[in-house]
Amino acid sequence: MSKLSITLKIAGGSYPFTIDSAEEELYRKAERQVNEQIAKFNKINLPQKDHLAMAALAISMENLRLKQSRSLGEDIDRLGELENTIDKYLGEL
């Protein structure tokens, strides 16, 4: 994969990265997401580092909710498989 040098601007700071070119869109979306979260907290009169902390917390909560919903989906799939196994067993009786 080819490497690409990019600079992300987050909370007024510039951060250079060298990344795989295939991941550029992911980095750009992450940059936007972080800046959008920070903007939500800019209305509150806090130091910039606190805005960053609140944005990190909000993004982490979203990530955990997503993982939790995926886990629940996997549990439902396993229950469906168990139901099929029970149905087969009961059908054989």
Rounded to whole angstroms, what are the CA distances from 12 to 31, 49, 86? 12, 11, 59
Give the model confidence (pLDDT) of 1-36 as tens digits: 799 999 999 988 999 999 999 999 999 999 999 999
Enumerate the β-bridge partners of residue 3.
Answer: 20
What is the model's pTM?
0.65
Strand-pair category, 3-10 with 13-20:
antiparallel
- Sign, CA dihedral 56-59-62-68, equals negative
- Provide mean pLDDT across the span 26-50: 88
Higher pLDDT, 21 or 90: 21
Please give the average per-residue pLDDT across 57-65, as a whole number.
89
For 75-86, what is the mean pLDDT?
Answer: 78
Task: State the helix-helix crossing angle for 48-92 and 24-41, rounded to 10 degrees.
Answer: 120
The model's confidence at residue 93, banded by pLDDT at 50, 70 and 90, is: low
